[in-house]
Amino acid sequence: MAAAQDAHHASQATQTFDPPPAVAAAAHVPSFEAYQRLHRRSLDDPEGFWREVSDQFVWFKPWTTLQEWNPPFAKWFVDGETNISVNCLDRHVEAGRGDRVAYYWEGEPGDTRTITYADLLADVQQFANALKAQGLRAGDRVVLYMPMVPELPAAMLACARLGVVHSVVFGGFSSDAIRDRVNDAGARLIVTADGGWRRGRVIPLKANVDGALANGACPSVERVIVLRRCGNPIDWDAARDVWWDDAVAGQPANCPPAHLPAEHPLYILYTSGTTGKPKGVVHATAGYMVYTAYTSKLIFDLRGDDVYWCTADIGWVTGHSYIVYGILANGVTGVMYEGAPNHPAEDRFWAIVEKYKVTVFYTAPTAIRTFVRWGDHHPQGRDLSSLRLLGTVGEPINPDAWLWYHRVIGQGRCPIVDTWWQTETGGILITPLPGATTLKPGSATLPFPGVEPQVVGEDGQPMPDGQRGLLVIERPWPSTLRGIYTEGWGQPGHPGEFGDRERFVETYWEKFPGRYLTGDGAVRDADGYFWVIGRVDDTLSVAGHRIGTAEVESALVSHPAVAESAVVGAPDPIAGESIAAFVTLRGGIEGTDELQAELTQHVGQTLGRFARPKLLRFTDALPKTRSGKIMRRLLRDVAAGREVAGDTTTLEDLSVLAALRGDEE
Ligand code: WTA
C-alpha cells in the first residue's frame, strides 16, 4: 500500500510547519497551549465544556442531562429540544444577517445564483410546506437523489424543519443502488431532478429513479418530486411524479419549525461496510448540530466575512457536515459548484476561487494529485491571493501532494488542516487547528476537543509510539453515530430505537467493548501525532469514494456468467486506490475480452460508474486457505504487481502459492 508506506515514511520526517503568527493571532484557538487547555477541559469537565459550546444555539427546551452512555448506546443533550434548520437559518436572519450570502452557486455550464440566508430560509419553509402537503410527518423518510444545486440543501433543511429524516443518495449511484437504499429506508417520497451536468453531459437522474421504481420495486414510495435542471427529456408517471415548481406553488414561505427532541434522527446516510449490504448510518439532531458547527468554527477558523468552499458532493458525509449543516450554522458564505474540475478547462476550480474570492478551500487528496498532474500553470494563471486556509479529507495525504498543495495553492502562506473522520463520526475527530498546531505533512495531527483517540494492538493494549495498531476512540462524542437504520427508528420506546443493534455492536463495539472501532490503522508518534494509514477492513477508498469490496463482489456474482469473485484494492497514483477484481466463471464460459468489458459495465450499472474495477482478471480458482478463506493479501500483492514468493507471480500460479502459504492469512 503506497499510502501506508508514505505515512510510515513521513512519520519519521522532520519538516514541520508552525502556525504563521498572523494566523495564530487572529484565530479562535490562538496557541498550542490554548488548544491543550481546551482539550484537557473537554475531557475533565464535559458538562461545563459542552454547556458553553451549546449555549450559542437556539433551544426550545434547554438540556439538563449532557449524556446518557450505556455502552455502546449514547445519547447527547438528552432532554433538550431544538431544530437544526432554525440554528442554520432563522437565527442568522433574526440577528439581522438575512442579507448575507448563504451560497454562491455555480452550475457547470456557467449559470450562477446567489442565495442569501433570507432567501434560503424562505425556500426551505416553502418546500417544507410542500412536503407537509404531501402528507409527510416527523419520522417519515425521504430520499434525495439530486445534482449539486441549491435545492438540495434546501430540501435537506426542509426535512429537518419537520423532523422528516432525509437520506441523500449520491448522484453517481445507479438504479439498483437507489432501490436498495430507498427500500431499506422505507422512503415515502423521493426528490430528484430531470438531470445534472457533469463534464458537459447530462446525468439522467430522473431516469435512474424511474429504473429503481420500475415494476413496483419500491412499494413505500408514494411520490417523486422532480426539479427541472437540464431540460432533458424524461418519462412521466402522472399518478406519481410532480414538478418541484408545482409542488411549491402557492405554499406559504412560512413554516413553523418542529420542536424536536435532541435525539430525533436527522438523517440516514448509507455507507459501505464489510458486507455487501450498505449500512444506513443514523445521526441524531442535537449532537450532530453542536458538533458539526463547533468543529467548522474552530478547524476552518470561520468568521463572518469568510467565503468557504468545500468541493465534496453533498451525497457524501463531507457535504452534509461541511457544506450544509456545520457551515450554515456558523452563518458564513459557502460556494457550491455543480460539475467537474476539468470542465470546460482544467483550471475551473481556480477560476472559481478567483471569482468568488474564496478564503477557505477544502478538498480531497485524490483531487490534489490530479491537479499536480494537470500542471502548475493552471493555478498559477489565477489569482489565489484570497485563500487563507486549506483543508483535506477522505484519505491519507502523501507528503509530496501536501507540500505541493502548500506551495502552489497556498503559496506558502496557508496552513493545511488534514482532517480525519468518517461517515459514522459525523464530524472531524482528528485535525490540526490552524492557529495552534504545528503541521507535519501527512499527519492529521491531534484530537479535537472532546475526542480521545488511541492506537491499540489486537489485545486492546496501547501500542508503543511509532508502532502501527488499530485506531479506536475511547469515549463517545456528540455526533457519534446512533446506530444502523432499521424500520421503526425514531419512535420512542419502539424496539427500533438504536436500529440494528446486533450489526451496530458487531461492527463498531464488540472487539473492544466501550471503545469505538474506526476500522483504520494508525501510528502515534512521539509527539502524540496521529498518522492514519488507511482501512484495515475490506473497504476501499477510490478517488475519495468509500466502497466495500463485498459490494463489488456481490455486483459481480449477480452476473449470470460469474461463479465467484474476490475484490481487493490496488495502489493508484491518483485515486489512492483502484479496484481489482478476480473472477471465476461458471462452467463452460470463456473469459473473453468482451466478457471482461461486460462485467466491468455490469458493476457500473449495479453500483455506479465510480465503482467499476480498473483491473478485472479471470482465474480458474481463487486462492484460498484450507479453511476456505480467500487469501486477500496474496491477491493484493498480485494486483499491486508486487513480487510474491520471490518471483513475479502470474495468476496461474496462485493456487500453487496458496497451497504453499497454507493457512497463513
Ligand atoms: C479515510 C469521509 C486519512 C479513513 C469523511 C476513514 C482519512 C474513511 C482521512 C472514512 C484523513 C478520511 N486521513 N484517512 N484525513 N479522512 N479518511 O466514511 O480510512 O467516506 O475511515 O468519510 O476515510 O470515509 P467516509
User: How far apart are the C-alpha atoms of 461 and 50, rounded to whole Å?
Assistant: 29
Ligand 1: which of 541, 545, 547, 577 to mutate, most ligand atoms within 8 Å of CB?
541
What phi-psi label fits residue 576: left (phi over 0), alpha (psi between -120 and 50 degrees) or beta? left
User: Which residue(s) pair with 579 in the sheet?
Assistant: 569
Closest CA to ligand 1's atom 20 = 546
The amino acid present at 664, given as its one-letter code, is E
Ligand 1: which of 421, 530, 610 to mutate, most ligand atoms within 8 Å of CB?
421
Q: 530 CA distance to ligand 1 centroid (A)?
A: 13
Q: 114 CA distance to ligand 1 centroid (A)?
A: 31
Closest CA to ligand 1's atom 5 = 422
Q: Does the CB atom of residue 396 touch ligand 1 within 6 A? A: yes
What phi-psi label fits residue 634: left (phi over 0), alpha (psi between -120 and 50 degrees) or beta? alpha
Q: What is the CA radius of gyration of the chain?
A: 24
Closest CA to ligand 1's atom 24 = 422
Q: What is the pLDDT of residue 7?
A: 45
Cβ 102 vs Cβ 116: under 8 Å:
yes
Cβ 259 vs Cβ 58: under 8 Å:
no
C-alpha to C-alpha distances, 162 to 125, 135, 250, 517, 600, nearest whole angstrom: 10, 11, 19, 33, 42
**Strand, coil or helix: 542:** strand
User: How far apart are the C-alpha atoms of 310 and 296, rounded to whole Å?
Assistant: 12
Largest CA-CA distance found in the chain, in angstroms, rounded: 73
Q: Does the CB atom of residue 577 touch ligand 1 within 6 A? A: no
Grid coordinates of 526? 512521539
The amino acid present at 471, given as its one-letter code, is L
Q: 376 CA distance to ligand 1 centroid (A)?
A: 27
Cβ 490 vs Cβ 483: under 8 Å:
no
User: How far apart are the C-alpha atoms of 171 and 167, rounded to whole Å?
Assistant: 12
Q: 421 CA distance to ligand 1 centroid (A)?
A: 5
Per-residue three-class SS string for 328-352? HHCCCEEEEECCCCCCCCCCHHHHH
Ligand 1: which of 325, 532, 537 to mutate, most ligand atoms within 8 Å of CB?
532
Q: Does the CB atom of residue 279 touch ligand 1 within 6 A? A: no
Cβ 599 vs Cβ 583: under 8 Å:
yes
User: Which residue(s) pair with 430 in the sheet?
Assistant: 420, 447
Grid coordinates of 601? 459495465
Q: Mean pLDDT for each consecutive 10-residue tract of the chain (665 residues)?
A: 44 80 97 98 98 98 97 95 98 98 98 98 98 96 98 98 97 95 97 97 97 98 98 98 98 97 96 83 97 98 96 97 98 98 97 98 95 96 98 94 97 98 98 98 98 97 96 98 87 67 94 96 97 90 89 92 93 93 92 96 94 93 77 86 56 55 46
Cβ 436 vs Cβ 29: under 8 Å:
yes
